[in-house]
């Protein structure tokens, strides 16, 4: 990530998000060529970051949209994404969201329960419009990630239980306006190993055998998203290894059906940083606090799932003495902390810190608690020199 243009912006009011658009474009280049090799379809999971400029940059590419709300569908349509490139997931879709999706003619609705399937059937019938669905199945695969971002275990609220697939097929037979287009899976987020995806492929192969034995045919498979990024060392791996990811899927999935993916974090995670300024230093009983002007209102991940983001000081001209700090925000909540034992050069009031790898689930989760308001984002379009990328 390139911070050169940020260094000229130091007097700007903080906190704000800073996006390296050259890195985003490089990431998109790699993703596009990796996916093309297997004719894989990529839908960008909009909830990871729905900043206008980020969306514009992504949707210039031949990617579709993965939406989890009616407003995201509306946004994707308004940004020129073709309806047949949009998928809608979500464990609790409202009637208006289902109606809107049917009306727009999106690619498919990913259905998460038998009850939802029934309701979609009723709404489609009332509208007199056919609709395509994919059944989101819960494959009971452990993604080995934080429990709050695991979604594919049988105790999670997501998807239709494996055992209910037969019932879902029977129900589909009774719904005149609903046709089965595919199967959908999404096992979790920030998945750092490929093994969970290999396990998923094996599960999918078995389910496909079962469906073939019942003469059920499909038009597509959707393996969701979840590919993780390196939060500890963002500069070692600024772009996730999409090539290896797709190669692994291709090797283990035994199917000729078109395969779709819904990637969020792996596309936008590393191109964003949250820029904040040190307000105060405080010597606690057992900790050195650095109180900064960004908090859980701007970046919720640490408070929500104990996520650790690498923190660096932008200016390197003062001291080189390294200190261990607890870096905390201004919000009146004890979880408003970016972590303890963070090694930084001795930092003083006014120093600018960058909280790295904040491009995904950062700005999109920002909120107005305490009536706080996020400052406008800053963008860099500078190409990183070849030397830096090696």
Ligand X SMILES: *Cc1c(COP(=O)(O)O)cnc(C)c1O
Contact set with ligand X (CB under 6 A): 45, 47-48, 66, 68, 89, 186, 189, 224-227, 262-266, 360
Distance of closest approach, residue 60 Cβ to ligand X, in angstroms: 20
Asked if residues 182 and 134 have their Cβ atoms less than 8 Å apart, the reply is yes
Looking at the Cβ atoms of 227 and 353, the one nearer to ligand X is: 227
Distance of closest approach, residue 152 Cβ to ligand X, in angstroms: 11
Distance of closest approach, residue 236 Cβ to ligand X, in angstroms: 20
Distance of closest approach, residue 332 Cβ to ligand X, in angstroms: 29
Looking at the Cβ atoms of 264 and 329, the one nearer to ligand X is: 264
Distance of closest approach, residue 316 Cβ to ligand X, in angstroms: 32
Give the whole-angstrom CA distance, residue 236 versus residue 261. Answer: 25
Looking at the Cβ atoms of 89 and 274, the one nearer to ligand X is: 89
Looking at the Cβ atoms of 260 and 372, the one nearer to ligand X is: 260
Distance of closest approach, residue 308 Cβ to ligand X, in angstroms: 17
Looking at the Cβ atoms of 85 and 266, the one nearer to ligand X is: 266
Looking at the Cβ atoms of 268 and 274, the one nearer to ligand X is: 268
The three-point CA angle 316-3-368 to 5° equals 100
Looking at the Cβ atoms of 20 and 262, the one nearer to ligand X is: 262
Distance of closest approach, residue 234 Cβ to ligand X, in angstroms: 16
Give the whole-angstrom CA distance, residue 197 versus residue 226. Answer: 10
Looking at the Cβ atoms of 68 and 204, the one nearer to ligand X is: 68
Q: What is the DSSP string of 138-193?
A: E------S-GGGB--STTSSSSEEGGGHHHHHHHHHH-TTEEEEEEE---BSSB--
Distance of closest approach, residue 82 Cβ to ligand X, in angstroms: 19
Query: Which of 1, 146, 47 lies closest to 361 in space, CA to CA?
Result: 47
Give the whole-angstrom CA distance, residue 133 versus residue 178. Answer: 7
384 CB contacts (<8 Å, ≥6 apart)? 1, 2, 20, 22, 23
- Count, in order, helices (H) and strands (E) of the chain: 12, 17
Helix (H) or strand (E) holding 6: helix 4-7
Residue 98 burial (C-beta neighbours within 10 Å; 0-12, 13-18, 19+): buried
Residue 171 burial (C-beta neighbours within 10 Å; 0-12, 13-18, 19+): middle
Query: Which of 155, 151, 167 lies closest to 114 in space, CA to CA?
Result: 167
Looking at the Cβ atoms of 262 and 336, the one nearer to ligand X is: 262
> Distance from CA of residue 272 to its chain's centroid?
13
Distance of closest approach, residue 279 Cβ to ligand X, in angstroms: 32
């Amino acid at each position: 990530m390139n911070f050169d243009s940020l260094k000229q912006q130091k007097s700007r009011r903080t906190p704000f998000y800073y996006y390296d658009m050259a890195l985003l474009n490089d990431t998109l280049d790699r993703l596009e060529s990796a996916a093309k090799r297997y004719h894989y379809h990529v839908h960008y999971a909009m909830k990871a970051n729905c900043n206008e400029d980020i969306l514009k940059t992504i949707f210039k590419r031949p990617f579709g949209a993965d939406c989890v709300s009616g407003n995201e569908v509306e946004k994707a349509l308004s940004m020129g994404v073709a309806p047949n490139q949009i998928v809608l997931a979500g464990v609790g879709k409202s009637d208006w969201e289902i109606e809107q999706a049917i009306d727009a003619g999106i690619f498919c609705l990913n259905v998460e329960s038998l009850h939802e399937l029934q309701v979609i059937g009723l709404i489609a019938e009332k509208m007199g419009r056919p609709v395509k669905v994919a059944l989101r199945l819960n494959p009971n695969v452990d993604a080995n990630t934080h429990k709050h971002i695991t979604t594919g275990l049988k105790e999670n609220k997501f998807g239709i239980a494996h055992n209910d697939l037969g019932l879902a097929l029977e129900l589909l037979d009774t719904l005149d306006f609903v046709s089965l287009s595919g199967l959908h899976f999404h096992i979790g987020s920030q998945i750092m190993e490929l093994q969970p995806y290999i396990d998923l492929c094996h599960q999918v192969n078995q389910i496909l055998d079962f469906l073939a034995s019942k003469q059920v045919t499909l038009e597509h498979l959707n393996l969701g998203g979840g590919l993780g990024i390196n939060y500890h060392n963002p500069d070692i791996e600024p772009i996730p290894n999409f090539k290896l990811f797709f190669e692994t899927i291709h090797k283990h999935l035994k199917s000729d059906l078109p395969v779709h993916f819904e990637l969020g974090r792996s596309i936008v995670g590393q191109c964003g940083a949250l820029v904040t300024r040190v307000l105060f230093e405080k010597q606690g009983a057992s900790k050195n606090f650095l109180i900064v002007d960004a908090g859980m209102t701007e970046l919720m991940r640490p408070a929500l799932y104990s996520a650790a983001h690498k923190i660096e000081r932008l200016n390197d001209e003062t001291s080189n003495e390294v200190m261990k700090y607890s870096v905390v925000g201004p919000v009146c909540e004890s979880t408003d902390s970016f972590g303890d034992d963070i090694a930084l050069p001795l930092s003083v009031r006014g120093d600018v810190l960058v909280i790295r790898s904040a491009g995904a689930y950062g700005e999109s989760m920002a909120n107005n608690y305490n009536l706080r308001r996020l400052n406008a984002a800053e963008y860099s379009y500078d190409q990183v020199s070849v030397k830096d990328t090696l």
